[in-house]
Amino acid sequence: MGTAEAPGETTQKLLDIVAAKPAGYFARGLPQIRADQIAAVDQTQRAIFAQNAVPILSGLAQSTGVRAASVALQTRPGSSYGHGDRSPGLSGHSAGQSDGSGDLLSDLLAGQAAAQGKLTELLTGPLPEALPRFATVTDIPAVWNQGDRSVGQWDGSVLERFWRNIAAELPIIGVPAKVDLMNAGISAEFLLRLPPAPYPFDVDLTKAAAGEALFAENCGTCHRPRNEARYPVIGTDMNRAQVLNPAGSAMFLAAFQAACHDPEFGYTDTYGRRIEPCTMPAYRILRDTTEAANQGYLAPPLDGIWARAPYLHNGSVPTLAQLLKPASRAPVFLRGVIDYDPDEVGWMWQPADLDSYRARYPTVSLHDTARDGWSNRGHDRDLMIEGRLHRLDWSDPALSDQAGALIEYLKTR
């Protein structure tokens, strides 16, 4: 890396790349920069990078080493992704999937070990208690209309919306002290009423009107705004719901609190209230999900559901039609195809077309529901909820018209 006065080879290459960019490159297009300010801002940006290139690259190298140790920890035999062909790839090896909770636990453990000079012990000694022994990969939840989602994460474990953004930033940044608090606050308010994208194809409004009544009768009890209840009775894969044991929960809470590194930080929210997250008690940050009685998944609002395929928290059902007709669920399907099926409501998924789709889309991967954490079970049988029978299984051919009407209505959400 060298020093600011005597840059090393890698640092010098980057400095040369920066110097070769045309005048104004690092200022043009920035918000609120007037044309007569571009030259001065550009020069300032270049000077800041030149002065800080060595510490930036040194920090990147260090964090890359910690992340490499984190990956090695997760893939050790018996660890969360260390069960051979039974494990999915890290982050599902798939577009739209991540393991924010499992990755964060592993990153925090690796960061602590690196700070103590004990990475070798971490990677060769007993597996840490806080680390799950199973894959907890999920699809990325909807980020829009957060005002209708009073708690965050698939299991409702993260409470105030500010902390949802801290939870999103931490697995990426890895170092709690480097979290941008203002960014978390701004994002929390920006997403409060951000609408979902509207369905881009035609809708049969007559069918949709019939489906609206079916939705109210069979879906609306659970899939309503600001519903904090969790529904283990639905029977979906429980890996993600069980990601935190007491040691992991304590580690999460400590990292969240460390991320709020300025006790005087605060902002005014959309409703004019003063929010001072760094003074919040633990019970307003993280809900206890370490006990079986507290585990399960939320039933989120279904706004923009057309764009949320594949379905379930782990993205293991390719289309809305297959979700409603569990007897038709594909055990293996493609993810990452960008061709849409407006009839089934989801992305094209047929494994027989793997080669042709891979030639067009580098994002394509195979999703095998037999792998750990990827089960497509659940939301597949009629249930008594709040004293009333709700139909979840529309597989019976006699219900085909009703299922079609329900799907048509869901396009309008």
Residue 177 has what pLDDT?
Answer: 86
Residue 18 CB contacts under 8 Å (≥ 6 apart), including other chains: 26, 46, 49, 50
Mean residue pLDDT of the chain comes to: 93
On whether both 323 and 286 belong to a single domain, the answer is no
CA distances from 232 to 155, 190, 276, 318 (A): 10, 31, 34, 22
Q: Judge whether 139 and 315 are in contact, CB under 8 Å.
A: yes
On whether both 3 and 126 belong to a single domain, the answer is no
Residue 251 has what pLDDT?
Answer: 95
Cβ of 243: how many Cβ atoms within 10 Å? 31
Q: Tell me the pLDDT band of 5, cut-offs 50, 70 and 90.
A: confident
Question: Can you give the residue range of the structural domain that contains 165?
Answer: 91-195+238-298
Q: What is the C-alpha to C-alpha distance for residues 127 and 242, in angstroms, rounded to an integer?
A: 17
| Tens-place pLDDT, residues 312-346 | 999 999 999 999 999 999 999 999 999 999 999 99
Residue 400 has what pLDDT?
Answer: 97
On whether both 307 and 209 belong to a single domain, the answer is yes
Residue 323 has what pLDDT?
Answer: 98
On whether both 158 and 213 belong to a single domain, the answer is no
Residue 310 has what pLDDT?
Answer: 97
On whether both 322 and 284 belong to a single domain, the answer is no
Q: Does 294 reside within a domain?
A: yes
| Tens-place pLDDT, residues 203-219 | 999 999 999 999 999 99
Residue 71 has what pLDDT?
Answer: 93
Q: Does 76 reside within a domain?
A: no
Residue 12 has what pLDDT?
Answer: 92
What angle (nearest 5°) sits at the alpha carbon of residue 189, between those of residues 188 and 194? 95
Q: Does 395 reside within a domain?
A: yes
Q: Tell me the pLDDT band of 272, cut-offs 50, 70 and 90.
A: very high
On whether both 124 and 251 belong to a single domain, the answer is yes
On whether both 55 and 105 belong to a single domain, the answer is no
Rg (CA), the chain: 24
pTM for the full model? 0.88
Q: What is the C-alpha to C-alpha distance for residues 173 and 162, in angstroms, rounded to an integer?
A: 16
Residue 170 has what pLDDT?
Answer: 83
Paired tokens of 224: 């309503």
Q: Judge whether 125 and 78 are in contact, CB under 8 Å.
A: no
Strand partners of residue 402? none
Q: Does 369 reside within a domain?
A: yes
Q: Tell me the pLDDT band of 96, cut-offs 50, 70 and 90.
A: confident
